[in-house]
Amino acid sequence: MNTRILLVDDDPFVLKMLKVSMEALGHPFDTASDGEEAMDKLKQSEFTLVLTDLTMPRCDGMQLLKHIKEEYPRIEVIVITGHAEIHGYTDVVRAGASDFITKPFGMDELEAKISRVIREQTLIRKLEHLSMCDMLTDLYNRRCFEMKLHEEIPRAHRQGYPVFLALLDVDRFKEYNDQHGHQAGDRVLQDIGRILVQCTRENVDWCFRFGGDEFAIIIPYATAVQAVQIADRILERYSHESRYASTSLSVGLAQFLKHPGSSWPEDIAELVTRADKALYSGKEQGGNRVIGDSSLSCLGEIEAAAKHPPSV
């Protein structure tokens, strides 16, 4: 697991000491002088751990901790406090902190607590991977897909960035399986998993084996044009690797839309339904194409289909 730490303290001396410690331990890091600056840094970069002072101007450590637990639940937090703080160990742990360090502290204590948190994060990630991973393709599985949709979409709505869902299906996969056998079919699915990872953005897009010969991609932080480009890139790569006989891919693409009066589960279910209908519209037209639902109508289905005419 790649570790990157955000150091937050309004005392320049303490911040400098933390920087020297991180350099000695070999951990990549960034710094912020208070909670507000830390929130900006969290939007801009990926972090695995935050070390934060408790008493700071503008936004204190407890406010920052609450923000992290709500918006970035996978990031661990170690709180650093002075002896005279009004919040104690129990308060910060109940609020979601992983650990608590009292000033003044030594290098050995800091290293030990950071190492413990990193070890626990690594173990948790391994266990999550086993429970959320499709063993054939090494992509995330359907269970993980449901969880990530319900995590990512409300956060995207709060933070004001779009999210797209791409559903993919292998055209004529049953015929390929019948002709070449299930082991050959498994190799097709494994290659699709590899292609999805290669053609999407690392640590941004989420790729899943949805079930059978169906796959899904959650695409955040993208425009409609960029989402279509990702789907196009996948079809082009699959078509270029021409060892799959008569098979091709169909992709249905939809953007999440929040409807007044509807619940999150209702709007998320509607997103999946729209992407699924777009997918099967493409398959009915012969496959080997990207079809966007009405939320992407400005791009024009004809242009997307023209790039990928049906296989003969």
At 302, the pLDDT band (50, 70, 90 cuts) reads very low
In 3-state terms, what secondary structure has residue 145? Answer: helix
How high is the pLDDT of residue 244? 79
How high is the pLDDT of residue 57? 86
Name the more confident of 295 and 240. Answer: 240
User: Residues with Cβ < 8 Å from 188, sequence gap 6 or more?
Assistant: 170, 173, 176, 213, 244, 247
Dihedral sign, CA of 307, 309, 311, 312? negative
Alpha carbon distances (Å) from 263 to 119, 143, 156, 269, 272: 38, 21, 15, 10, 15
pLDDT at 300 over 60: no
At 242, the pLDDT band (50, 70, 90 cuts) reads low
Residue 213: active-site member: yes
Dihedral sign, CA of 136, 276, 272, 250? positive
What average pLDDT score do residues 254-270 get?
Answer: 94
How high is the pLDDT of residue 305? 42
**From 99, 134, 169, 213, the catalytic residue:** 213
Query: Mind listing the domains of the chain with CATH numbers?
Result: 5-132 (3.40.50.2300), 142-307 (3.30.70.270)
Amino acid at 142: R
How high is the pLDDT of residue 312? 33
At 84, the pLDDT band (50, 70, 90 cuts) reads low
Q: What is the CA radius of gyration of the chain?
A: 23
How high is the pLDDT of residue 130? 82
* Global pTM value: 0.63
| Cβ atoms of 255 and 296 closer than 8 Å | yes
Q: How far apart are CA 14 and CA 133, in angstroms?
A: 41
